Structure 1
Amino acid sequence: MNSYKINFINNTMTITKTFERAANNPYSEEYKLVQKIRADFPTMQFVRKASPAAERPNPFKGLTYAAMERYILCEGSSELMSEFEKVRERSAIAPNPYLLVRNWFVQRFPEYMEQRNEGQELHIKTYEAA
């Protein structure tokens, strides 16, 4: 188990939270190891390994161009669809075209994100090609 890592160049010993807890017990192997390291390297610094950041779900997951189009079609306005197409065309020169379109969509249709965040089922009609 990788519960510690010694870096002699930086004079540090990186330890996990589990190792740190075990090292607090004077009868544990971890405690004995820490005592030996301190005796051999009195200036050694102990650093706790950072825990991985808690993953947050992506609120925009599944918000594709196709999903945006379906939602706009559900609104039933050809003006909204032409506006969407213009934004999409103009965003082509941007470093991240999707980001511009997504931001426009979220600003233009805030109720879409509210429904998603509340876990409500989005009522989007699907249109089949004839």
Structure 2
Amino acid sequence: MKKNAIIYIDDTHAQVTKAFEKQARIFGTPEYREWRAYRQDFPSAQMVTKTIKKNTSKRTYKNLTYANMERFLNMQPNGKALIKEFNDQKETAAIQQNPYRAVLAWFLAKFPKYDEYKAFFADNGEAAEPTAEDADNLKVVSNF
């Protein structure tokens, strides 16, 4: 467990964690007392929290699970052959240290434009407001 601490930067700034900053604002907490003691030594000190730089170019495959890969493969014109190849890849990758990464590498090599496919649905997948005609076509059954 990481202990909340104050790191001295200079007489006017002290680096703290976000958790420490949050707790130091609550009267009577140990962090509050620690910050008050620190301010006795450095009265003009201010808390500075460290921010972590996020890599905006990082590619993530959060929703690309085995099930979603299989659904995508089923929608292809040669889906049955692709599913067989996919299952073979899963079997082969089972001996790897990280089988998912091996199957993912195969999938992305097989479908290099998959990212464009995702972007198409992200841009055009916005849900439209239902029209009166849509409302007439919906039949809601309630037991309440």
**CA–CA distance in 1 between the matches of 2:118 and 2:64?**
10
**CA–CA distance in 2 between the matches of 1:102 and 1:121?**
25
- Count of aligned pairs: 92
The answer for the alignment partner of 2:139 in structure 1 is none
**Aligned match for 1:111, one of 106, 110, 113:** 113
TM-score, normalised relative to structure 1? 0.53
TM-score, normalised relative to structure 2? 0.48
**CA–CA distance in 2 between the matches of 1:121 and 1:69?**
23
CA RMSD after TM alignment: 3.7
Is 1:15–1:49's contact at 8 Å kept on the other side of the alignment?
yes
**CA–CA distance in 2 between the matches of 1:121 and 1:97?**
33
Is 2:15–2:50's contact at 8 Å kept on the other side of the alignment?
no
Is 2:85 aligned against 1:83? yes
Identity of aligned residues (%): 29
**CA–CA distance in 1 between the matches of 2:124 and 2:75?**
14
Q: Report the CA distance shift for 1:99/1:121 in structure 2 as closer, same or farther (over 3 A).
A: farther
4+ runs deviating over 6 angstroms: none
The answer for the alignment partner of 1:61 in structure 2 is 62
Q: Give the letter for the 1:102 counterpart.
A: L
**CA–CA distance in 1 between the matches of 2:65 and 2:116?**
17
**CA–CA distance in 2 between the matches of 1:81 and 1:121?**
27
**CA–CA distance in 2 between the matches of 1:107 and 1:121?**
25
CA positional deviation for 1:66: 0.9
Higher relative contact order (CA 8 A, sep 6+): 1
SS of the residue aligned with 2:113?
A: helix
**CA–CA distance in 1 between the matches of 2:66 and 2:85?**
13
CA positional deviation for 1:111: 2.3
Is 1:91–1:98's contact at 8 Å kept on the other side of the alignment?
yes
SS of the residue aligned with 1:81?
A: helix
The answer for the alignment partner of 1:73 in structure 2 is 74
- 1:13-52 deviations in whole A, cap 9, x for unaligned? 4437xxxxxxxxxxxxxxxx6xx55xxxxxxxxxx65312
